């Protein structure tokens, strides 16, 4: 009985297209999109999939876009999304309007008062942002960062709780050399006035893609927790930057050790160094094999 081909529904095709787009390596979604568009051969279906996938991809990869008029750059994240396609840049107090599919910022507008944190929260946010910017500038050649208030933005006094989010994004894209990679980290900082402490939760994600005559990808995540005491804004910013610096350096060192051990661990498990017979092939003396003797005899070699 012949297998009958099953026609996929409109929704199934869209979900498959979204999967390919969302799983594109760092900096490669536009290349994947061209192939997906050809495979679908349906402009309306592609636009539906792309409108959903690009928005998620841009936020998860924390891409950085230049705002018009050289106002500055805006990092696209879930933390600073106000409305669909609108993202707050707290440094400039501007809201960027973004075309997610084209990955460009098309316009800006001044942020409204209710979109910005109180002066009390802003003092902490601003000093932490400056300290993190110095750290990122020293550590990541092409890195960007930002700090957002994600909870309690209307706090006006020391007895109020609030939460900030630090985002760091650095990428090195070199498709001509068949390699792309990115480092992304998010750090949620809870200011707890009752205990006069800061609780820090971090998540680091590293992605790398090498595709010269092959396809090798690294996608790894690491979570960590820390804490410090609540202090004046300047002291808090130094303490938080030191915590982030420590955990990121520690994880980077762990990745380096893992890479150095790859030949003897992961790659060794992927491929046998010896065949099942546990004997190296005798390339210097192949005449002992019957196949070699038959070929020599058939071709008349050595006569």
Residue-wise DSSP of 188-205: EEEEETTTTEEEEEEEEE
CATH T-level assignment (fold) for domain 61-116:
Ribosomal protein S3 C-terminal domain (3.30.1140)
- pLDDT value of residue 300: 63
Judged by DSSP in three states, 30 sits in helix
CATH T-level assignment (fold) for domain 117-264:
3.90.1150
Domain boundaries along the sequence of the chain: 10-60, 61-116, 117-264
10-60 and 117-264 share one fold: no
- pLDDT value of residue 1: 46
Residue with tokens 């050790």: 257
Q: Along the chain (303 residues), what's the average pLDDT of each consecutive run of 10 residues? A: 73 95 95 95 95 96 93 94 95 96 96 95 96 96 95 87 96 91 97 89 95 87 95 95 97 87 66 64 61 62 56
- pLDDT value of residue 215: 86
What are 210's strand-pairing partners? 179, 216
- pLDDT value of residue 160: 85
- pLDDT value of residue 251: 95
Write down the pTM of the prediction: 0.83
- pLDDT value of residue 261: 72
Alpha helices for the chain (secondary structure H):
10-22, 29-40, 43-60, 119-139, 233-261, 266-270, 290-299
Q: Report yes or no: 115 and 153 within 8 Å, Cβ to Cβ.
A: no
Other C-beta atoms lying within 10 Å of the C-beta of residue 44: 9
- pLDDT value of residue 288: 59
Q: 10-60 sits in which CATH class?
A: alpha beta
- pLDDT value of residue 277: 67
């Amino acid at each position: 009985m012949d297998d009958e081909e099953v026609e996929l529904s409109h929704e199934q095709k869209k979900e498959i297209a979204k999967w390919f787009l969302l799983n594109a390596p760092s900096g490669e979604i536009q290349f994947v999109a061209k192939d997906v568009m050809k495979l679908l051969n349906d402009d309306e279906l592609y636009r539906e999939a792309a409108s959903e996938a690009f928005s998620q991809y841009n936020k998860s990869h924390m891409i950085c876009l230049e705002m018009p008029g050289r106002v500055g750059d805006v990092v696209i994240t879930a933390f600073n999304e106000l409305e669909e396609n609108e993202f707050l840049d707290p440094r400039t107090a501007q809201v960027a309007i973004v075309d997610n599919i084209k990955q460009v910022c098309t316009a800006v507008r001044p942020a409204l008062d209710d979109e910005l944190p109180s002066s009390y929260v802003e003092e902490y946010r601003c000093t932490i942002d400056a300290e993190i910017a110095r750290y990122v500038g020293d550590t990541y050649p092409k890195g960007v960062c930002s700090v957002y208030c994600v909870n309690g933005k209307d706090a006006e006094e020391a007895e109020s709780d609030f939460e900030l989010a630090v985002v760091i994004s650095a990428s090195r894209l070199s498709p001509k050399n068949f390699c792309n990679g990115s480092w992304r980290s998010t750090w949620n900082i809870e200011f707890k006035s009752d205990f006069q402490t800061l609780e820090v939760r971090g998540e680091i994600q590293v992605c790398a893609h090498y595709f010269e005559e092959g396809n090798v990808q690294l996608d790894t995540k690491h979570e960590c927790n820390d804490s410090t005491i609540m202090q004046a804004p300047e002291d808090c910013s130094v303490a938080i930057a030191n915590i982030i610096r420590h955990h990121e350096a520690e994880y980077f060192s762990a990745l380096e050790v893992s890479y150095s051990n790859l030949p003897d661990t992961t790659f060794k498990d992927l491929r046998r160094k010896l065949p099942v017979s546990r004997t190296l092939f005798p390339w210097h003396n192949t005449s002992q094999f019957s196949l070699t003797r038959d070929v020599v005899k058939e071709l008349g070699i050595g006569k």
